[in-house]
Amino acid sequence: MSNKQFNVPPVIFPTSTNQHRPTAPFQPRPTANPIPFMSFEIGSATTSSFPPAPNNFSFDQEPPLLEELGINTKQIWNKTTSLLNPLRVKNLDLHEDADLSGPVMLIMAFGLFQLLAGKIHFGIILGWVTVSAMFLYVVSNMLAGRNGNLDLYRCVSLIGYCMLPMVILSAISLFLPQGGLYISVIAMFFVAWSTKACTMLLVHVAGWDQHPGF
C-alpha cells in the first residue's frame, strides 16, 4: 500500500489590529453611547438621584389614613349632631360642603337596625335614597332655573344626613311593640322631623333664602 501525501496550504491569521476580528454570534455590537451599568449594591444607594429623607422624619408625622382618603370624621360628627334638634338645624353652614362618607354610614346603620328587626331592606333603602336624590335634583333645578346650583352629589349628601331621624326611629322601634296607633304617631313625628330638616338644608344650600321673591 503506497503512502500518499496531501499538500494542504497553511492557514494564516491576520495580525493587523485594523482588520475586523470575527465575533461570536448573537452578540450586540458596541455603540457610540453605551448605557451605563447600574449597580444595585447597598453602597450605591448613597449615590442615587433620589432626594434624601430629612433627618427628623418619622411615621408619627404622617396624616391619618381616613384623612388621606378624604374622610373627615370631625366634620361628619358635627353635621350629624347639628340635626339632633327637631325644631331647627344647629349650624346650616356645615352642610355647604357635601360628602358621602356620613350618608353612607347613616344608611348602613339604618339597614343594620332593620336587619336586627328581621327585615333585609338594604337594597330598598339604597334604591329609595337614589330615587329621592334624583327627584330632589330635578325638582330643585326646575324651580331654580338658571340660578340653580344644586348638583346630584349635594342632593345625595342632604338626603343621607336627613336620614338621621329615621335611623333613630329604627333603633327605638326595636324596643316598642309593632303595630297600633302608638308606633304610628311616633313614626309620623320622626318623618316630619326628617322632612323639616331636609327642607331647611335645601333652602339654605340652594340659596333660596337670599331671594325672597323667588
Is 33 exposed, middle or buried, given 0-12, 13-18 or 19+ CB atoms closer than 10 A? Answer: exposed
Please give the model's pTM, rounded to 2 decimal places: 0.65
Residue 148 to residue 207: CA distance in whole angstroms = 9
Confidence (pLDDT) at 131:
93
**DSSP at 189:** H
Per-residue pLDDT in tens (0 to 9) along the chain, 214 residues: 556 666 666 666 555 554 555 555 555 555 555 555 555 555 544 444 545 555 665 666 666 666 666 677 888 899 999 998 888 888 888 888 888 889 999 999 999 999 998 888 889 999 999 999 999 888 888 887 766 678 888 899 999 999 999 999 999 998 888 777 888 899 999 999 999 999 888 888 877 655 544 4
Confidence (pLDDT) at 188:
93
**Domain locations in the chain?**
65-77+93-209
Confidence (pLDDT) at 44:
47
CB neighbours of 147 closer than 8 A, spacing ≥ 6? 207, 211, 214
Evaluate whether 162 touches 201 at the Cβ level (below 8 Å): yes
Evaluate whether 198 touches 162 at the Cβ level (below 8 Å): yes
